[in-house]
Amino acid sequence: MSEQLHSLPAETLTLSDAELAEIDAEIAHAPYRAAVAIDALKIVQAHRRWVSDDCLEALAAYLEMPPAELEGIATFYNLIFRQPVGEKVILVCNSVSCWIKGCEGIRAAVTEHLGIEPGQTTSDGRFTLLPITCLGACDRAPVMMVGDNKFEDVTVERIPAILEQDEGATPG
């Protein structure tokens, strides 16, 4: 058994059976393995919150593509994380309808409540704050997401209850 494990490329061991099963399901209806690169990055991220160098290399080997090419894809997209993020990612919309309605104040209130700037993670690992483009709920601006939940008509006063109790959450 151990001999068999050693015969595999070391990097393929990084990905779990569950991850590989989900990736295989995508490959099943793709014309070639590298075609599922984005789905696969999202699957790995769903399991681990972010995509580490080890995971990226293992995934590239599994998809039969150069790691540099997969890195180019991973870093192109706003919501593939190549650095560790907290348990919940906070996305504060900063596009024009939310800007009119004061999203800069919302972002400042989150920063003040958690003590982190955009791009940073709280020291307890609970939250990462990121800016995001228009979330497509402009009639309810300002809008933000915390993890998988969406919050509409956000006010500065609501920020503590939103962050601590998910108050007023609707599915994303």
Partner 1 sequence: MSELPLTRNVRADRSPTDLAAYEANGGYGGLRRAMAGLAPGDCLDIVKDSGLRGRGGAGFPTGMKWSFVPMENVSPGHKYLICNADEMEPGTFKDRLLLECDPHQLIEGMILAAYTIGADVAYIFIRAEYLKAAQLLREAIAEAKAKNYLGRDILGSGYHLEMHVHASAGRYICGEETALISSLEGKRANPRAKPPFPQVSGLWGRPTIVNNVETLCNIPHIIERGPEWFQGLGLGGDAGTKLYGVSGRVKNPGCWELPIGTPVREILEDRAGGMEDGYQLRGFLPGGGSTDFLVDEHLDLAMDYETIGKAGSRMGTGTMIILDDRTCPVGFVKNLIEFFAQESCGFCTPCRDGLPWNAQVLDDIEQGRGQLEDMDTLEQHVSYIGAIGNTHCALAPGAMEPLQSALKYFRDDFLRHIEERTCPYREVH
Instruction: Give the residues lining the site for partner 1 (CB under 8 A).
Output: 29-31, 34-39, 41-42, 72-73, 76-80, 91, 94-97, 99-102, 104, 132-141, 145, 148, 171-172
Compare residues 6 and 29 and give the one whose CB is closer to partner 1: 29
The whole-angstrom separation of Cα 18 and Cα 149 is 25
Cβ 116 to partner 1, closest distance in Å?
21
Element (H, E) at 89: strand 88-93
Task: Judge whether 167 and 158 are in contact, CB under 8 Å.
Answer: yes
Region of residue 125 (phi > 0: left; psi between -120 and 50: alpha; otherwise: beta): left
CB of 43 to partner 1, least distance (A): 11
Residue 123 CB, nearest approach to partner 1 (Å): 26
Q: Which residue has the tokens 């295989």?
A: 24
The residue (of 52 and 160) whose beta carbon lies closer to partner 1 is: 52
Residue closer to partner 1, measured from CB, 76 or 157:
76
Report in angstroms how near the CB of residue 66 gets to partner 1 at its nearest: 13
- Chain-centroid distance of CA 126 in Å reads 14
Both tokens of 129, joined, read 């704050």
